[in-house]
Structure 1
Amino acid sequence: RDSILVVCGNIDNSLGGKTVPLRNRQFVFDHTSIDHTKYDSHRRSLYLPIIRNNLYTLFEQFDFPDPTMPTGWRHSTTVAPQALLLLNSDLLVESAERLASDLVSVHSDDEMRLCDLFQRILARPPTQLESQQCHPFLSQFDQRSSELSAPVEIKSASSNSQLQTGTAAQSEERAWALLIQSLMATNDFLYVN
């Protein structure tokens, strides 16, 4: 989670403060079971609240220990639901869109964008094979979206899957965002060697 926020420039590095936006003597859950817990903060995961009966979904999927018991050792699993959660999470979609927008606005050349993208996400330049695979994906996405005259359903953190036609610039950004999402789901990004 923190790596995604850092790579995409969304991290809030502020220190200290409240983890749950409550006034003094206010409960996280009240008698009406209204939950005041918010996990949409862009602060480091260290500052997110740990509510025993309402744990953050990303924490649950990625082997967070049971908060009701002391745990000296964590299990480590790699399962398909983790990959699906990453690919479909609003956090990843929103972060990929922001990074794609930055890449498109900073660089006019696709090769420069690709080098910058790989450097940010994987801390290395793309291999020749990776470059050969990424360029056709980007051009085919642009070509397909320009061929479509009907509105297209685009999952976006800002639009909540509304029907959109989009301009060429939006199509280009969307192609880069999808490439970013796929790179962030790779083992090279997720695991430290």
Structure 2
Amino acid sequence: MLDYLASRFMEEGWSIKKLHKLILLSATYQQSSKNNPAYAEKDPFDRLLWRANVRRLEFEPLRDSILYLGGELDLTVGGHPIDLSEGTHMTQKRFQAILNRYGKVHLPAAPRRTVYGYVDRADLVEVLNTFDFASPDMPTGKRYETTVPQQALFLMNSPLVIEQVRNVVERKEFKQQKTDEDRVRYLYELFFQRRPTQEEVRDGLEFVTAHHEPEKPVAAASGFQPVANVIGQGNKRKQQFNQPAPSRASRKPLTGWQEYAHALLLTNEASFVN
């Protein structure tokens, strides 16, 4: 196969574009990952490439997909880099490095494509390490792949994810759906590019129907004063000044449809290319 591709590469004038076209339009490259029992019995390890191998998304396309689902992905080409840390997690060192090099700073977690994320070799953003980002200190031909709890926790609790989940149900296309069944089908087509089965539609409707608003917090017992009334005015101002900026994602509870969209995002199908 490599000899054939090399000979075609030379015959077609060393054109990388033509080589890419040859590979991408081949039947092998366009294989589905669906199982075929007859082929699996003869070639269980897929050495002859009779099916595509399921591949987990790297952090860059995963973050871009999340922004796309929320309808906020900025496709602008070129321009200044963005910081990939969330909220107030941008360290002073990284802030100063970006400021010194580019003269201006974009807001953290700006909805631009992740390829424009700023990479500081001495102060790499933690989320990049969580999702097996290649070491910027050396050439890396292939990234290693790990499965750690922090990856799931990012998808469960990240302000970026929560904000985009809220945006999903605010999309015009979602609001135009007339029935709950149509809303479930729309979310499946948006998240997975396929129509749901009848069982999946039924499960989705049950999930949304069973959603309950969380109980309101119990009021503080009488006889106790809030901390703000106990500390002095000077300490109060100092405490307020040192508080991190409020998250972009509101802390109010998610609605039933937002919870359902979040649940779909947490599935393996949303994070794997099949």
Q: Does 1:176 align with 2:257?
A: yes
May I ask how many residue pairs the two structures share in their alignment? Answer: 168
Amino acid at match of 1:7: L
1:7 corresponds to 2:76: no
- Give SS of 1:137's match: helix
Say if 1:94 and 1:158, in contact at 8 Å, map to a contact too: yes
Give 1:37 shift.
7.8
Conserved? CA contact 1:20–1:37, under 8 Å:
yes
CA distance in 1, matches of 2:133, 2:264: 24
Residue of structure 1 aligned with 2:269, choices 179, 185, 188: 188
Off by >3 Å, runs of 4+ in structure 1: 36-39
How far did residue 89 of structure 1 move?
Answer: 0.8
1:1-193 equivalences in 2 (<5 Å) = 1-20=63-82, 27-28=96-97, 38-102=107-171, 105-141=175-211, 144-145=212-213, 150=216, 157-159=248-250, 161=251, 174-193=255-274
Percent identity over the alignment is 32
How many angstroms does 1:38 deviate by?
A: 4.9
Tell me, in whole angstroms, the C-alpha distance in 1 between the residues paired with 2:196 and 2:118. 37
- Counterpart residue type for residue 179 of structure 2: D
SS at structure 2 position matched to 1:75: coil
Counterparts of 2:67 and 2:98, CA distance in 1: 28
Cα RMSD of the aligned pairs, angstroms, is 2.9
SS in 2 for 1:9: coil
2: CA distance, partners of 1:132 / 1:189: 20
Q: Secondary structure at the match of 2:201?
A: helix
Q: Structure 1 stretch 9-18 or stretch 74-83: which is displaced more? A: 74-83
Pairwise CA distance, 1:65: 1.1
Deviates more, 1:50-59 or 1:62-71: 50-59
> Structure 2 length as normaliser, TM-score?
0.54
SS at match of 2:188: helix
State how far apart, in whole Å, the 2-side matches of 1:20 and 1:157 are. Answer: 16
Match of 1:167 in 2: none
Structure showing greater Rg = 2
| Pairwise CA distance, 1:11 | 0.2
Q: What is the CA–CA distance in structure 1 between the aligned matches of 2:82 and 2:138, rounded to whole Å? A: 21
The CA distance in 1 between the partners of 2:258 and 2:153, in whole Å, is: 17
Give, in whole Å, the separation in 2 of the partners of 1:184 and 1:13: 22
Q: Give the TM-score of the pair, scaled to structure 1.
A: 0.75
Partner of 2:238: none
Residue 5 of structure 1 aligns to which amino acid in structure 2? L
Structure 1: stretches of 5+ with no match in the other structure: 31-35, 165-170
Residues 92-112 of structure 1: CA deviation (Å, up to 9, x unaligned): 100010001226532231111
Structure 2: how far apart are the matches of 1:55 and 1:99?
30
